[in-house]
Amino acid sequence: MKKQIILLPGDGIGREIINSAKVVLNAIANRYNHEFTFHQHAIGGNAIDEYGVPLPEDTINACNNADAILLGAVGGPKWDSVDPSIRPEKGLLGIRKELGLFANLRPVKGFKALLHASPLKQEIIEGSDILIIRELTGGLYFGQPSERRENGTAVVDTLSYTREEMERIVEKAFESARIRKKHLTSVDKANVLESSRMWREVVEEKAKEFPDVTVEHLLVDAAAMKLITNPTQFDVIVTENLFGDILSDEASVLTGSLGMLPSASVRSDGVGLYEPVHGSAPDIAGKGIANPLGMILSAALMLRHSFGLDEEASEMEKAVNKCLEQGYHTGDLNIQGGKKVGTEEMTKVVLENLTAKSISR
């Protein structure tokens, strides 16, 4: 398999961690006889410094011709005083819009070696493995322009969706559930919102095309509660933009290890942008101590969802998990009795585990 991957290191620790992902992907390519080509471009604050804008045309053109994109992180206090119209974050929002990325994927997995850091009791979070799929381009954030009325004493925001927008995100969710545990939870507020009632209709219609996937409907308030009380009941969760924004942030703290979480923004043809959930961490940039595992897991997500390489993705994930079981951790993680290492050494351990017999084919 030949694939072209665009690297967008961005700001802060982005350059360090994206290099780790590249090294591991090259090891996977060699092992499975794939060919990955990499081209690096600017985004965010880095692009502002070099080109005066957070998303240069050269970057847009490269991403439009790519099979997938890996992004490190954008932003930092260095650019706090720039014009709001060209803040580093505009680069990320801009590339999502340019590429038409409508589905946000947020896996949340409880790594056994890190469960002690979870705000939940270990017996509640242990075994959790959730994929939250959030619609990105519609809903309350993209309705008719908000307006103040009655001399500023009232306000109106509009929640707007088309059936097509619902159908494509729901279909992506069913496809994702099919390659996991074949269980899909659709989250809405159908007891109140007409948009949610249409959402349920679409889910029920799509379910006929995926008879091997079990479907359940949950109201968003019940889903928020069950994420805390019984997270292991979930496999894939699909929901609209606002609900997904809230639920994915809630779920991200459950495992107690924000630095471990990958994410993706994808479209129907498989092209996607993959990035860790954490920020640019400018305070530790260049010190060689950043945690590369969230970036490496984002690359694994890319293999699975953009390239259809599930076995290769699983091998990367197993290699990362074994690092933690062996006690290796960066400063943001806390493994009692473990060995604290930097970015380069952690990456080296992942590579060693990829060739270990315990996770071989």
For residue 186, how many other CB atoms are within 10 A of its CB?
Answer: 27
Residue 221 annotated in active site: yes
Instruction: Kindly name the residue from 51, 78, 129, 141 that is annotated as catalytic.
Output: 141
Options 49, 58, 157, 221, the catalytic residue: 221
Is 339 marked active-site? no
Residue 196: both structure tokens together: 């949610």
CA atoms within 13 A on the CB side of 97: 9
Is 170:186 a contact under the CB 8 Å cutoff?
yes
C-alpha 5/C-alpha 63 separation (Å) is 9
220 neighbors 240 (Cβ within 8 angstroms):
no
Neighbours of 93 (CB within 10 A): 13
Residue type, 212: D
* Start-to-end CA span in the chain (Å): 19
Cβ atoms of 319 and 353 closer than 8 Å: yes
Is 97 labeled as catalytic in the residue annotation? no
CB 360 within 8 A of CB 350: no
* 174, amino acid identity: F
Measured CA to CA, the distance from residue 43 to residue 88 in angstroms comes to 7
Q: Which residue out of 97, 249, 283, 339 is catalytically annotated?
A: 249
Contact predicate 259/335, CB 8 Å: no
Options 181, 189, 318, 348, the catalytic residue: 189
From the list 90, 245, 322, 328, the catalytic residue is: 245
- Our measurement of the distance from residue 62's CA atom to the centroid of its chain's CA atoms, rounded to an integer in Å, reads 21
Quote the crossing angle between the two packed helices 293-305 and 343-354, to the nearest 10°. 40
Say if CB 215 and CB 246 are below 8 A apart: no
Residue found by looking up tokens 């993706």 in the block: 264
- Type of residue numbered 119: P
Q: Is 162 left (phi over 0), alpha (psi -120 to 50) or beta?
A: beta
Contact by Cβ (8 Å): 34, 4: no
- Catalytic positions are 141, 189, 221, 245, 249
